[in-house]
């Protein structure tokens, strides 16, 4: 059995997320159906490194699949891109170590959240940012961001009804920068809870708007209560940038 590693980019606007679901079309389903003709019509499970939510995008999603055929990786890439819609692209295909699993072998991920602050939003950006017109105190957001770095309990930053009990994660980097009419939040860590990045971004946005103190992050974490943190920002502003192995 041979293992292939795929690197993918996609616009998540028209999908219910990465994972197959009964209530709509997922990225995983589209890729698996495009892959089947390469494998004699057999639908293989293609495992993604991260289960991006509905509307979330990816620049460097990683997936793995076990196959029996001997097609060259470059041929697999070309064949998939011919069959896939234009909002999903295969950036690369390589042979991986036997047994490689995109999700279980990942050691970290990097995400980006974009907040547009201009009075008028470009129609070409509307699916890729959260539009929140008006100035924000980026320096205060940067100060708050320092409190997230390191190993912490992020229970306050996941949905209240989440069944996940192990909520300790490590954030290695969290940068906030003013990109001229846009605030960009880049975060890297060893793993993320559902909605965690979007809720961190929402909390930082409230700090930038003066609704929260930059040094309140410790108390939010200590509360282990979803109600203590800020709003969960819309999915459109979030992109999975890369996966680390």
Catalytic residue among 53, 87, 178, 186: 53
Q: What are the tens digits of pLDDT across the range 57-98?
A: 999 999 999 998 999 999 999 999 999 999 999 999 999 999
Q: Where are the domains of the chain?
A: 2-95, 108-244
Q: What are the tens digits of pLDDT across the range 158-197?
A: 999 999 999 999 999 999 999 999 999 999 999 999 999 9
pLDDT for res 131? 98
In angstroms, how far is CA 99 from the centroid of its own chain? 24
Fold annotation for 108-244: Alpha-Beta Plaits (3.30.70)
The CATH number assigned to the domain with range 2-95 reads 3.30.70.580
Q: Please say if the pLDDT value at position 208 is more than 90.
A: yes
Closest CA to 136 of 211, 54, 51, 215: 211
CB atoms within 10 A of CB 189: 22
Residue 241 in contact with residue 7, Cβ under 8 Å? no
Known catalytic residue at 53: yes
Phi, psi dihedrals of residue 37, rounded to the nearest 5°: -60, -25
What's the mean per-residue pLDDT of the chain?
A: 96
Q: What are the tens digits of pLDDT across the range 87-132?
A: 999 999 999 999 999 999 999 999 999 999 999 999 999 999 999 9
Identical fold for domains 2-95 and 108-244, yes or no, is yes
Q: Please say if the pLDDT value at position 42 is more than 90.
A: no
pLDDT for res 67? 92
Residue with tokens 């770095």: 149
Q: Where are the alpha helices (DSSP H) in 55-213?
A: 73-83, 138-145, 196-208
Find the distance separating the first CA and the last CA of the chain, reported in whole Å. 21
Q: Which long-range contacts (CB under 8 A, 24 or more apart) does 19-23 make?
A: 19/48, 19/51
pLDDT for res 212? 97
Residue 92 in contact with residue 7, Cβ under 8 Å? yes
The most distant pair of C-alpha atoms in the chain lies apart, rounded to whole Å, by 59
Q: Where are the alpha helices (DSSP H) in the chain?
A: 27-35, 73-83, 138-145, 196-208, 217-223
């Amino acid at each position: 059995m041979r293992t292939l590693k795929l690197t993918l980019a996609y616009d998540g606007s028209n999908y219910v997320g990465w994972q197959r679901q009964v209530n709509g079309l997922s990225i995983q389903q589209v890729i698996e159906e495009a892959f089947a003709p390469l494998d004699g019509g057999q639908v293989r499970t293609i495992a993604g490194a991260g289960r991006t939510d509905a509307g979330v995008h990816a620049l460097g999603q990683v997936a793995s699949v076990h196959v029996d055929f001997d097609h060259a990786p470059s041929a697999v890439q070309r064949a998939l891109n011919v069959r896939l819609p234009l909002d999903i692209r295969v950036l690369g295909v390589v042979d991986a170590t036997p047994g490689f699993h995109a999700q279980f072998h990942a050691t970290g991920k990097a995400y980006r959240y974009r907040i547009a602050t201009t009075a008028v939003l470009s129609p070409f950006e509307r699916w890729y940012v959260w539009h929140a017109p008006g100035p924000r105190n980026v320096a205060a957001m940067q100060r708050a961001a320092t409190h997230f770095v390191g190993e912490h309990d992020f229970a306050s930053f996941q949905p209240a009804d989440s069944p996940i009990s192990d909520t300790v994660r490590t954030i290695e980097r969290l940068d906030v920068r003013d990109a001229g009419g846009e605030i960009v939040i880049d975060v890297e860590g060893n793993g993320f809870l559902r909605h965690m990045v979007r809720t961190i971004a929402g909390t930082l946005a409230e700090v930038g708007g003066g609704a929260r103190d930059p040094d309140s992050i410790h108390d939010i974490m200590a509360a282990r209560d979803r109600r203590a943190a800020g709003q969960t920002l819309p999915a459109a502003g979030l992109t999975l940038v890369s996966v680390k192995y």
